[in-house]
Amino acid sequence: MELTLWTYEGPPHVGAMRIATSMEGVHYVLHAPQGDTYADLLFTMIERRGRRPPVTYTTFQARDLGGDTADLVIRTIRQAVDRFQPEALLVGESCTAELIQDQPGALAGGMDLGVPMVNLELPAYSKKENWGAAETFYQLVRTLLKAQLPAPGTPKPSPSRWREEGRRPRVNLLGPSLLGFRCRDDVLEITRLLGEHGIDVAVVAPLGARPADLLRIPTADANVCLYPEVAGPVCSWLERSFGTPVVRSVPIGIGATADFLRELHAVLDLALPADLETVEGQPSEAERRSRLPWYSKSVDSTYLTGKRVFIFADATHAIAAARIASRELGFQVVGLGSYSREQAREVRAAAAELGLEALITDDYLVVEKAMAEAAAELVLGTQMERHSAKRLGLPCAVISAPLHVQDVPARYSPQMGWEGANVIFDSWVHPLMMGLEEHLIGMFRHDFEFVDGHRSHLGDGAPASASASTAPSPEEASATSTAVATAAAPAAGTITAAVAVREALESLWTADGEAELAKIPFFVRGKVRKNTEAFARERGLERIDAEALYDAKAHFSR
Amino acid sequence: MEVPNQAIPSMGVSAPPVQPSPADLNPHLHPDLLKESGQREVFCGLTSIVWLHRRMPDAFFLVVGSRTCAHLIQSAAGVMIFAEPRFGTAILGEKDLAGLADANEELDRLVKDLLERRPEIRTLFLVGSCPSEVIKLDLAKAAERLSAQLLNRVRVLNYSGSGIETTFTQGEDNALQAMLPLLPSSDEEQLLIVGTLADAVEDRFRLIFERLGITTVRSLPPRRSTDLPPIGRGTRVLLAQPFLSATARALQHRGATLLSAPYPFGVEGSRDWMAAAATAFGVPLARFAEVVDPLVERGRRALAPHREVLAGKRLFLLPDSQMEIPLARFLSRECGMELVEVGVPYLDRQLMAADLALLPADTQLSEGQDVDRQLERVRAARPDLVLCGLGLANPLEAEGIATKWSIELVFSPIHGCDQAGELAELFARPLRRRALLQLS
């Protein structure tokens, strides 16, 4: 028994729903009690789907349990097949139905349905959503391709058979699904990228595929495992059974996209284009297809140097993010982890490369604690981390499922390929303050204008007492300005006091102190004066000379 | 207190006398109740936790169930309340299924850990789920055992929110019932408002009742889980929510009198709901009019602009929260909408008596659901607006049918004369929006 407050993944049958709903012509009969239909809203709300998921629930109740729930299953399957006329049927059960052991898949097997049927056995008490999606996709492909299985001992097809057949090479894109992160746009981006290299896409699945499309999977020269969480098992099976090679580089980020293209060309026995050649480990020309490399080199990005970034996501996006952050944006990765236990080994390896120990957990509180302890300045995570980061006051970009409706944007925003790298640059850097802006705000940090968010020139004015109070902390200062805003009447007295304090402070400056201050650019001068005075007051200095000014400068540059 | 002899007349002109009983109902009033069974697009009772935990900030709701239960509550609650929530799920693993003895030990350990982390918790609800019911994990015994261990620190109660036994809002009914044995007995004269209300709405009602001269007003559930109202012969129960059948009956067994009234949605419903209390407490008609008439007047003014949008529009209510009948009554009588079909998860004629009596005589009621068949009726009828759950809203919108999400109704303050305008606005907004958008 395990206490869960919020969970990264749903139960495995939700993974099966993701496969069914991603496809066309597939229907899923789910033996489940009232309430389990909640999962429909993941698709209709988060993905804004204009159609109900193709799922029929048996909706059994307590009073059915004494009677014949098996009969309810059979009736429901029959009605669903009649009503929806699917091209393939998935039959399975949710956690409660698993306990009553009606074995709906076996029942369906005994019915003459006239369509291919997959009996899904997804252990609800030990497995989770991504596993369920991968298993469902694998079982469905396996069931549909049974008739095409080559006889044992059949030689592997040559990955360069396209040449003999006088056609362009073609690959399958496997793994994109609903409720995955930006899959819709990744498919477009990768299809375009492949097209530029003269490679066709045979089948994209499960997203948008029909059962008939899955029958064409063996016609491809290679399988691209775009999302290992969903397509890992099916790609391995296709490699074992059909001898189809698998491209396993996931093209997220500049280096990874180049690696992907190189692996793809090698697998298909295609000549590597000149712009993908690397000379003495130098980046290849092709990488300039994205703006990320130049944006990252441009001076405004200097402030990104060494930013402490904490990464937690599904394995695919976590590993990709760690590589981009450390090698392409110059961040310092201070934490790396994933909730994908199935890919824990790969995440651990990626973390070890960065001198870190990977955090493999599905407890978001453990993640939040690690995030706080790592003193992160930027969080790259899921919706869970977005909320944790908000609590900790940290900027955050969402890079992986689980999603919120806002992670399914209207605009084109892939993560993969060259354009994906552009999107990543923008979406990770924007939560941070821009370079010069951050520099200036750092300098003006203690000014009242910046204490409680940005003030507007339209109103409020200066809180009169702010300069008089001794080095207010941001909280105190905001309390002060609130007090001033609500009690304007006694302000006159405060102003008089403030003037007195101002005069007293000004008298502390020696001639060389003033001279040194005058050398400081005007737009920072007031700030430096104020900081130096605060420093002098704190130290009980009687005079502010040039030395004191430099001491103060050193003090505030901490 | 004397038994009142002056009943305050209801606004609902076609309403029967103030105390209707099932026998008073003409069985032919709504002749063709459609009973359906099949796939239900309805949440289970666990979902009630989403508002119950906010009502009682010193209570924790621990679902003993599966990952599905945890995922359900999280998805239903969305990100509205993402924080360290005062609910969680003890997820059963394979080991727990193998041996119930171990499951009990595990539960005790987990509760101990949880309460150490949350020392402010005074009441812990162990909430049964489909899997815990099916494996017959005895949560009543667990609650007893843990209560003894945590004596004087935390009360441990249990109830079922499982989908095989409860729909959506029935979870609150079961939670309240679980609290009843803890209620002290007293024959003190009091008005007991039963059912979760938004705090602000509740304060407003209390103020109005005070002005009416009803001095002792208490609520169930209370704002603090330990601040339990007494119960006995002097208790007059006014139900604020239409889904508390079992609680209402249990309160009657403890000697309380159940006041019959329409539910306090809309001006008329709210006014008659207060009138039922006023009559029971012998509030003079003049006093009632003095206090309530201005509210009625103001409520009507707030309603007027929305009535303009809603009048004559055809409404189809899919079963969801049990609020459908009183809402249909409000939308038809006060907003002028035509009712195509009023679906409810289950029909409790006694609890709905006053509202049913105010529905147009030819209203098509349906009980239960076979969602595909019901959607066929929706498509055939082409209503102007459909009240439905989140799983159905976008698919219907994509077919060109305007919808109102029903879940908003259990989270928004919609009770009382002062809220009548807002309640109507919730239904008018989708229609206004469609009128605004110049898109194909």
Residue B18: predicted pLDDT = 42
User: Is A40 at the interface with chain B, CB within 8 A?
Assistant: yes
Verify whether the Cβ–Cβ distance A96 to B131 is below 8 Å.
yes
User: Is B31 at the interface with chain A, CB within 8 A?
Assistant: no
Packing angle of the helix pair B266-280, B324-333 (nearest 10 deg): 110
Question: How far away is chain A from the Cα of B111, in angstroms, using its nearest Cα?
Answer: 9
Quick: pLDDT tens for B144-182.
999 999 999 999 999 999 999 999 999 999 999 999 999
Minimum-distance CB partner of B79 among A52, A125, A387: A387
Minimum-distance CB partner of A45 among B45, B110, B390: B390
Minimum-distance CB partner of A83 among B42, B82, B372: B372
pTM of this structure? 0.87
Verify whether the Cβ–Cβ distance A65 to B164 is below 8 Å.
yes
Question: How far away is chain B from the Cα of A402, in angstroms, using its nearest Cα?
Answer: 11
Looking at residue A299, its amino acid is V
User: Is A478 at the interface with chain B, CB within 8 A?
Assistant: no
- pLDDT over threshold 70, residue B185: yes
Residue A437: predicted pLDDT = 63
Give first-to-last CA distance, chain A, whole Å: 47
Q: Which long-range contacts (CB under 8 A, 24 or more apart) does A182-187 make?
A: A182/A407, A182/A413, A182/A414, A182/A415, A182/A416, A182/A420, A183/A207, A183/A226, A183/A227, A185/A412, A185/A413, A185/A414, A185/A415, A186/A226, A186/A414, A186/A415, A186/A416, A186/A417, A186/A420, A187/A226
DSSP 3-state assignment of A114?
A: coil
Buried b (16+ CB within 10 A) or exposed e, B293-310: eebbeebbebbeebbebb
User: Is B70 at the interface with chain A, CB within 8 A?
Assistant: yes
Taking the C-alpha atoms of residue B287 and residue B278, their distance in angstroms, rounded to an integer, is 9
In this prediction, residue A67 has a pLDDT band, given cuts at 50, 70 and 90, of confident
User: Which one is predicted more confidently, B376 or B80?
Assistant: B376
Minimum-distance CB partner of A7 among B71, B96, B110: B71
Taking the C-alpha atoms of residue A180 and residue A174, their distance in angstroms, rounded to an integer, is 13
Taking the C-alpha atoms of residue A547 and residue B162, their distance in angstroms, rounded to an integer, is 74
Mean pLDDT of chain B: 92
Residue B372: predicted pLDDT = 97
Residues in chain A: 558
Tell me which H or E stretch contains A360.
strand A359-360
Beta-carbon contacts of B134 under 8 Å, excluding residues fewer than 6 positions away, are A65, A96, A99, A100, B164
Quick: pLDDT tens for A207-241.
999 999 999 999 999 999 999 999 999 999 999 99
Residues of chain A contacting B90 with CB distance shorter than 8 Å = 1-3
- Beta strands A200-205 and A117-119: pairing type? unpaired
- pLDDT over threshold 50, residue B361: yes
User: Is A38 at the interface with chain B, CB within 8 A?
Assistant: yes
What are the Cα distances from residue B188, in Å, to A59, B5, B224, B225, B235?
Answer: 45, 20, 21, 21, 7
CA angle A391, A396, A400 (to 5 degrees): 115
Residue A522: predicted pLDDT = 65
Nearest to B335 by CA among B300, B366, B383: B300
Half-sphere exposure of B405 (CA within 13 A, CB side): 12
User: Within A404-545, where are the H helices?
Assistant: 417-429, 435-443, 448-451, 474-486, 491-506, 511-518, 522-539
Verify whether the Cβ–Cβ distance A59 to B40 is below 8 Å.
yes
DSSP 3-state assignment of B167?
A: strand
Verify whether the Cβ–Cβ distance A10 to B71 is below 8 Å.
yes
Tell me which H or E stretch contains A460.
none
Taking the C-alpha atoms of residue B81 and residue B52, their distance in angstroms, rounded to an integer, is 13
Q: Tokens in use for B209?
A: 């009742």
Question: Active-site residue numbers of A?
Answer: 300
Verify whether the Cβ–Cβ distance A1 to B93 is below 8 Å.
yes
User: Is B97 at the interface with chain A, CB within 8 A?
Assistant: yes
Looking at residue A306, its amino acid is G
Q: Between residues 361 and 390 of chain B, which touch chain A (CB distance below 8 Å)?
A: 372, 389-390
Question: How far away is chain A from the Cα of B325, in angstroms, using its nearest Cα?
Answer: 21
Question: How far away is chain A from the Cα of B136, in angstroms, using its nearest Cα?
Answer: 11
Minimum-distance CB partner of A124 among B66, B106, B389: B66
Tell me which H or E stretch contains B300.
helix B285-310
User: Is B302 at the interface with chain A, CB within 8 A?
Assistant: no
Taking the C-alpha atoms of residue A506 and residue B64, their distance in angstroms, rounded to an integer, is 68
Beta bridge partners of B126: B62, B158
Beta-carbon contacts of B303 under 8 Å, excluding residues fewer than 6 positions away, are B266, B267, B334, B335, B420, B421, B424
Buried b (16+ CB within 10 A) or exposed e, B214-226: bebbbbbbeeebe
Quick: pLDDT tens for A351-399.
999 999 999 999 998 999 999 999 899 999 999 999 899 888 899 999 9
Residue A442: predicted pLDDT = 63
In this prediction, residue A159 has a pLDDT band, given cuts at 50, 70 and 90, of confident
What are the Cα distances from residue A262, in Å, to A167, A265, A277?
Answer: 20, 5, 9
Residue B99: predicted pLDDT = 78
User: Is B74 at the interface with chain A, CB within 8 A?
Assistant: yes
User: Which one is predicted more confidently, A280 or A262?
Assistant: A262
Residue B20: predicted pLDDT = 43
Under 8 Å CB pairs connecting chains A and B tally to: 181
Taking the C-alpha atoms of residue A262 and residue A373, their distance in angstroms, rounded to an integer, is 39
Residue A10: predicted pLDDT = 96
Burial of B78 (0-12, 13-18, 19+ CB in 10 A): middle
Mean pLDDT of chain A: 88
Taking the C-alpha atoms of residue A363 and residue A385, their distance in angstroms, rounded to an integer, is 11
- Rounded to the nearest angstrom, the gap between the alpha carbon of residue A444 and the centroid of all alpha carbons in its chain is 33
What is the predicted ipTM? 0.92
Quick: pLDDT tens for B219-233.
999 999 999 999 999
Minimum-distance CB partner of A11 among B41, B71, B372: B71
Q: Between residues 74 and 103 of chain A, which touch chain B (CB distance below 8 Å)?
A: 76, 83, 94-96, 99-100
Residues of chain A contacting B84 with CB distance shorter than 8 Å = 5, 365
Verify whether the Cβ–Cβ distance B107 to A44 is below 8 Å.
no
Quick: pLDDT tens for A447-463.
555 544 455 656 554 44
User: Is A48 at the interface with chain B, CB within 8 A?
Assistant: yes
Question: How far away is chain B from the Cα of A94, in angstroms, using its nearest Cα?
Answer: 8
Quick: pLDDT tens for B5-57.
578 888 875 444 444 444 444 544 555 899 999 999 999 999 999 899 989 99
Residues in chain B: 440
Residues of chain A contacting B71 with CB distance shorter than 8 Å = 7, 10-11, 14, 38-39
User: Is A469 at the interface with chain B, CB within 8 A?
Assistant: no
Tell me which H or E stretch contains A232.
helix A228-242
Asked if B136 and B210 count as a contact pair (C-beta separation under 8 A), the reply is: no
- Minimum Cα–Cα distance from A57: chain B residue: B39
User: Is A2 at the interface with chain B, CB within 8 A?
Assistant: yes
- Rounded to the nearest angstrom, the gap between the alpha carbon of residue B287 and the centroid of all alpha carbons in its chain is 30
Asked if A399 and A321 count as a contact pair (C-beta separation under 8 A), the reply is: yes
Beta-carbon contacts of B157 under 8 Å, excluding residues fewer than 6 positions away, are B123, B124, B125, B126, B143, B178, B179, B182
Asked if B267 and B275 count as a contact pair (C-beta separation under 8 A), the reply is: no
Q: DSSP character for B100? A: H
Quick: pLDDT tens for A313-335.
999 999 999 999 999 999 999 99
Quick: pLDDT tens for A82-104.
999 999 999 999 999 999 999 99
User: Which one is predicted more confidently, B84 or B419?
Assistant: B419
User: Is A406 at the interface with chain B, CB within 8 A?
Assistant: no
In this prediction, residue A496 has a pLDDT band, given cuts at 50, 70 and 90, of low
